Structure formats: structure tokens, C-alpha cells
Amino acid sequence: MELRPWREAPERDGVLLMAPHELSAGRRAEVLRSARWSWVHLTSAGADFIDLAEWPADTLLTRSWRCYAAPLAEYALHAVLTHEWRRGAPWQERDTRSAPAPDAPPVPAGASTGGGTGLWGAEVTVAGWGAVGQRLATVLDALGARVTVLRRSPAPGSPFHQTSDLGRALDADHLVVALPLTAGTRHLFDRAALGRARPGLHLVNVSRAAIVDQDALTELCAAGRLFATLDVTDPEPLPTGHPLRSLPTVRLSPHVAWRSRDSDAAFADDFATIWATLAAADSSAAPDPSATADSSADPHSSHAPGISHAPGISDVSAPGVPVPAVPAPGAPAPGAPVPAVSAPGAPAPAAPAPSAPMPDARALDAVIPGLVPPTTGRRARAAVRALLTPGRS
Ligand SMILES: NC(=O)c1ccc[n+]([C@@H]2O[C@H](COP(=O)([O-])OP(=O)(O)OC[C@H]3O[C@@H](n4cnc5c(N)ncnc54)[C@H](OP(=O)(O)O)[C@@H]3O)[C@@H](O)[C@H]2O)c1
């Protein structure tokens, strides 16, 4: 099996790896239109680059759902801790009895945190219960913060207080935005909501700028009423002279929270886990008449499929850079350790042996990690099976 540039992909049933944020909207559309992909996997965690209304439901769309959780949680933790420990500058007070450090942000009147410092007992809302939110909540909890989780549908049995009430979410010392950008979350934190936030709230956004009304946030930070640490802004980068760049209540970073020591391997891990899930699915459990009919009628069906990559993903496809290995028969369940990686061009192992039948295609889709609804994995499962067939490249 090999990784090929997208232009060399078969016209149908190809698997595309795409770094959507590195392509212009026009280029993305061109790549997506160029073939009838059975599966498109994004190197991003967000699927907001894709117009789902126009997306063919039988083309599986998956995202890198897990690999950014650790760095994003770490970034948010750093932001929260930095804010806590800069406010009131306790080190200067203790060591020199001097005034607060000149760059310490002002504490607004009415801020509930008073002179207290540190995470122990601090109230932190984590907005979003995806991989990022879950990891962050666990770390904050370990440090003694009182964590509230904002999500659409709070579930019973969570160790954390959960809410879908925006007002409750904004009544905190810190709010970390780790939500996906969707029609439902665009400007979720609008002017009215931010205006009702607890005075002194520190908003950390590691997700997408458009989830927050940036103009309203800027005004409230300029008034010293709110604080912000923003890894994402609109636009990116902000123009020189934008007020957010100079406010003492705001800290900015240029969309770098995803970085980690080995992001290529982490990305490959996510992809390989989805691959393993698709490969493990029993073909007889999810008959796909359209796929069968299609492939027999397909003039290109003898064309060996491969994994294609869009231009932005050249880092993953460079010679010598590992590509996720095809899982062996009895591939691991989602979340299980992924087998070692193999070099491009390595011989494809045998197709997985049929496993115990699973109920139906929808149940199979439900176990595909990173699946972006409402897409379905039926054609993708068929494509992965074809790629695993001995003799195929
Ligand atoms: N800055 C960076 O470098 C960087 C890097 C990677 C990712 N990101 C961003 O981080 C985001 C978060 O990723 P993730 O994978 O952890 O999240 P995710 O899995 O996409 O988040 C799903 C969560 O969001 C909740 N949710 C969705 N709509 C909501 C609404 N209207 N109100 C309240 N909650 C809502 C869901 O609630 P339910 O549980 O009730 O369904 C679920 O808990 C990505 O979408 C991406 O934009 C940024």
C-alpha cells in the first residue's frame, strides 16, 4: 500500500488524507471534487472547513479526534495557571513586598476571586466534552479546581458537574472554550452572554474564534471587565494595530496550541485507529449493495486503490515518514494501542478474517472514532477491505 498525491488517485473509492487548514477553500473544493472518495480523513480536529450540507453522506468523513487533546489541554492549563499566578503577583509580594509586577493584569472591581491565587478551589468551566474537554477537566480536577462542563446533553454519572446553561457556564473564574465550530456554536458566547459573565472571568479559547463574539470580547477586555487568552482569532493573524494586540487583559498566541513533540505520530495514530476499526468490521454484517454493484460496474475497479493525500499533507507523505500500518486481522478496538507504523510501499497484509457479526451498518458507524455525522462508513469499509486484499497496492 502506498501514499500517492491526490491527482493520481483512482476516480472512485479512494481514501483521501487532507490537511484542510493548509488549503484555500477553492483548492479544498477542487481536491474533494476530483474523485468519488469513499473516505476523507482530516488532519484537523475540527470539521468546520467542510460544508456538510453539500457532503455526500456515503463518503465517510473523519477527523483527527484525539491527537490534539493533550497539547490543547496543556495549553489551556498553562493559560489558566499563568493567569492565576500573574494576578496579584504573589511572588513579588512575598519576596520583595513590592508593588505588583508592571505587566500584571488589573483586577476588576467585583471580581470574585479577590486576592486568592491558584487552581485549588477555582471555578473553571470547560465548554465541550470532546477529547480536549475531557482531558482538561481531569487535569484541572487533579489540581483541585471545581470543574463545570458545558455540553448540549449533560449525561448522568459524570464525576463533573455538567450543564447546558450558558449563564451557569459563564459564572466562573475561567471558561475554556473547547467546542467544535458548528451552526449551533457560532457566536454561542455573544455580546449578551458575555455581558452577563462573572466580572473578572478569564476566557481561554483554544477552539475557533467564531464561537465567541470577538468585538464584544474586545470591548469587555478593554473595559477591564473580562480577561482572555486566545489561541484563535478572526482573522489569523490579527492585523497590526488591532486592539486585542495591545490590551493588558489579553494574551494571544498564533494558533499553536495543537503543537506537541511528535504531532505526526499522534496524527498517524488517530488515522490508524479509524483504519483498524473499519478493517475489523465484518463485511457480512454491513452489506452495501451499492458498493458491490458499483465496483463490478466500475471500469476502474481493476485499478489498485491507494491512500491519496492532498497537497497540505506532504509532511506525512514524505519519503521515510511513517504511514500508519495496516492492522492485522483481529484489529484492535478504537482506543486500543495501534500497531507499529510501516514505510510506504510495504506489502499489504492479508485481509482480516471475518469476526463475529455485528448488528447493522448504523451500529458499525457508531464505533468509528472521529466520524463526522451524518456521514456513513459503508463505502469506506468496502474500500479498506479492498486495500487489504492481497495483491492490491
Ligand atoms: N487551537 C488549535 O490548535 C486547535 C487544534 C485542534 C482542535 N482545535 C479545536 O478544538 C475543538 C474541540 O475539539 P474536540 O474534538 O475536543 O471537541 P468535539 O469532540 O468536537 O466536541 C464535542 C462536544 O461539544 C459539545 N457541543 C457541541 N455543540 C454544542 C453546543 N451548541 N452547546 C454546548 N455544547 C456543545 C458536545 O456536546 P454533547 O456531548 O452534549 O454532544 C460535545 O461534548 C475542535 O473542533 C477544533 O475546532 C483547535
For the chain, how long is the longest CA-to-CA vector? 81
Instruction: Give 130 Cα–ligand 1 centroid separation in angstroms.
Output: 5
- Taking alpha carbons only, the member of 387, 370, 364 closest to residue 42 is 370
Do 276 and 345 share a domain, yes or no? Answer: yes
Distance CA 167, CA 194 (A): 9
pLDDT of residue 83: 93
Residue nearest to atom 29 of ligand 1 (CA): 152
Mutate to test the pocket of ligand 1, among 152, 256, 258 (most ligand atoms within 8 A of CB): 152
83 is catalytic: no
pLDDT of residue 315: 31
What stretches of 236-313 show up as alpha helix (H) in DSSP?
263-280, 289-297
Nearest atom in ligand 1 to the alpha carbon of residue 185 is 31
> Beta strands of 78-163 (E only): which ranges?
123-127, 146-150, 161-163
Q: Looking at the 3D structure of the chain, how many domains does it have? A: 2
> Does the residue 21 lie in any domain?
yes
pLDDT of residue 137: 98
Mutate to test the pocket of ligand 1, among 179, 267, 274 (most ligand atoms within 8 A of CB): 179
CA distances from 369 to 65, 140, 199 (A): 7, 25, 39
Element containing residue 83 per DSSP (H, E)? helix 69-86
Give me 178's grid cell: 473547547
Do 231 and 285 share a domain, yes or no? Answer: no
What's the CATH number where 147 sits?
Answer: 3.40.50.720
> Does the residue 203 lie in any domain?
yes
Strands, sheet with 15-18, edge to edge from the N-terminal-most edge strand: 3-5, 307-309, 15-18, 39-42, 60-62
> Does the residue 88 lie in any domain?
no
208 is catalytic: yes
| Final residue belonging to a domain, choices 252, 272, 292 | 252
Do 282 and 209 share a domain, yes or no? Answer: no
Range of the domain at 226: 116-252
Nearest atom in ligand 1 to the alpha carbon of residue 182 is 28
Distance CA 98, CA 87 (A): 14
- Taking alpha carbons only, the member of 77, 187, 178, 186 closest to residue 133 is 178
List all residues whose CB is within 6 A of at least one atom of ligand 1. Answer: 45-46, 65, 68, 72, 128-133, 150-153, 178-182, 184-185, 188, 206-208, 231-232, 255, 257-258
Residue pair 43/19 in contact (Cβ under 8 Å)? The answer is yes
pLDDT of residue 263: 86
Do 303 and 362 share a domain, yes or no? Answer: yes
Do 120 and 245 share a domain, yes or no? Answer: yes
Given 63, 208, 379, 381, the catalytic residue: 208
Do 308 and 246 share a domain, yes or no? Answer: no
CA distances from 100 to 104, 118, 146, 344 (A): 7, 16, 27, 57
Distance CA 144, CA 122 (A): 8
pLDDT of residue 356: 54
| Final residue belonging to a domain, choices 203, 228, 252 | 252
> Does the residue 76 lie in any domain?
no
pTM value surpassing 0.85: no
> Does the residue 143 lie in any domain?
yes
Do 133 and 217 share a domain, yes or no? Answer: yes
Tens-level pLDDT at each residue, the chain (393 residues) = 678 898 888 888 899 999 999 999 999 999 999 999 999 999 999 999 999 998 999 999 999 999 999 999 999 999 999 999 887 555 544 455 555 555 666 655 445 445 578 999 999 999 999 999 999 999 999 999 999 999 999 998 999 999 999 999 999 999 999 999 999 999 999 999 999 999 999 999 999 999 999 999 999 999 999 999 999 999 999 999 999 999 999 999 999 999 999 888 999 999 999 999 999 885 544 444 444 333 333 333 333 346 788 765 533 332 233 334 333 333 333 333 333 323 333 333 344 444 555 557 888 899 999 999 999 999 999 888 888 876 655
Residue nearest to atom 22 of ligand 1 (CA): 130
- Tell me whether the omega of the peptide bond preceding residue 327 falls within 30 degrees of 0, making it cis: no
Nearest atom in ligand 1 to the alpha carbon of residue 45 is 7
Do 381 and 328 share a domain, yes or no? Answer: yes
> Does the residue 108 lie in any domain?
no
Instruction: Give 363 Cα–ligand 1 centroid separation in angstroms.
Output: 23
Do 226 and 174 share a domain, yes or no? Answer: yes
> Does the residue 87 lie in any domain?
no
Which SS3 state, helix, strand or coil, does residue 319 take? coil
Given 21, 27, 78, 255, the catalytic residue: 255
Residue nearest to atom 33 of ligand 1 (CA): 151
| Final residue belonging to a domain, choices 219, 252, 285 | 252
Instruction: Give 252 Cα–ligand 1 centroid separation in angstroms.
Output: 20
Do 120 and 218 share a domain, yes or no? Answer: yes
Do 215 and 145 share a domain, yes or no? Answer: yes
187 is catalytic: no
> Does the residue 102 lie in any domain?
no
Do 272 and 244 share a domain, yes or no? Answer: no
